[in-house]
Amino acid sequence: MEGMFDAAQARTASGRQGTRCATAAGAGHARAGGILDAHRRAVVESTHLVRDEPDLLPARHAVRAAAVAAGLGLIAQTKIVTAASELVRNAYVHGGAGTLVISTVTSPRGRRGLRLSVTDSGPGIPDVPAALADGFGTGTGPGHGLGGARTLVDEFAINTEVGRGTTVTIVQWVT
Ligand SMILES: Nc1ncnc2c1ncn2[C@@H]1O[C@H](COP(=O)(O)OP(=O)(O)OP(=O)(O)O)[C@@H](O)[C@H]1O
Ligand SMILES: [Mg+2]
């Protein structure tokens, strides 16, 4: 799948020390291929600050509403809402606080989808493949969130730099 995270690729895609990027083009959205391709038309629908647990439910509701509006089916809606939950939780649990940006996207072939980016300015993720492994966690959680989110969506990319923060971007396409 285009833009799909690949652990081996991530290991070789480090732009500089401390940077782990899931896209071959390296750090920086403008240069990243696949999931963040500039040729893919994107319209930002809404932006949400996520600072703590009380921000989670409104964020989930916004993603659900956007998924319905984008034309995703019930299962696809539920998958992206669940994935968003995990990424939003990670942003405030591990990253201190974050921002969720909800966009509708259209592929070069005219396929519609929903894209979410969750960004924080926290410590970053030093070892992305380890963080994606089921059961790996540095906090108190069981460590299913990030890897689980990846399996739920059509596309998944992580852009992270130690000491600077993390952006996780996911896309679910209308089938
Ligand atoms: N936004 C982030 N910033 C920094 N580190 C992160 C971020 N997201 C994930 N991580 C790191 O990746 C690990 C795995 O994340 P994952 O969501 O899978 O597990 P968890 O959050 O520890 O537990 P849970 O199963 O409750 O989600 C985290 O423990 C943390 O070390
Ligand atoms: Mg988590």
Average pLDDT, the chain: 84
| pLDDT of 38 strictly over 70 | no
Nearest to 116 by CA among 87, 94, 96, 151: 87
**Closest protein CA for atom 8 of ligand 1:** 90
pLDDT in tens, 15-33: 333 334 343 333 333 334 5
Cα separation of 101 and 46, whole Å?
Answer: 6
| Ion ligand 2 neighbours, Cβ < 5 Å | 90, 145
Question: Ligand 1 pocket: which of 50, 94, 132, 168 to mutate (most atoms <8 Å of CB)?
Answer: 94
Instruction: Please give the distance, rounded to the nearest whole angstrom, from the Cα atom of residue 63 to the centre of ligand 1.
Output: 21
Probe ligand 1: pick from 125, 144, 159, max atoms within 8 Å of CB? Answer: 125
53-94 pLDDT, tens digit each: 999 999 999 999 999 999 999 999 999 999 999 999 999 999
pLDDT (tens digit, 9 = 90+) per residue, 1-17?
Answer: 333 343 333 333 333 33
Helical packing angle, 145-152 and 74-93, nearest 10°: 150
- Considering the entire predicted model, what is its pTM? 0.84
pLDDT tens digits, residue range 124-166? 999 999 999 988 888 888 889 999 999 999 999 999 999 999 9
Which of 120, 114, 121, 119 is CA-nearest to residue 153? Answer: 114
Note the pLDDT of residue 35: 64
**Domain 7-173 annotated CATH 3.30.565.10:** yes
Max Cα distance, the chain (Å): 43
- Looking at all shown ligands, the one closest to residue 99's CA atom is 1
Ligand 1 centroid–CA 131 distance in Å is 6
Find the 40 Cα to ligand 1 centroid distance in Å: 29
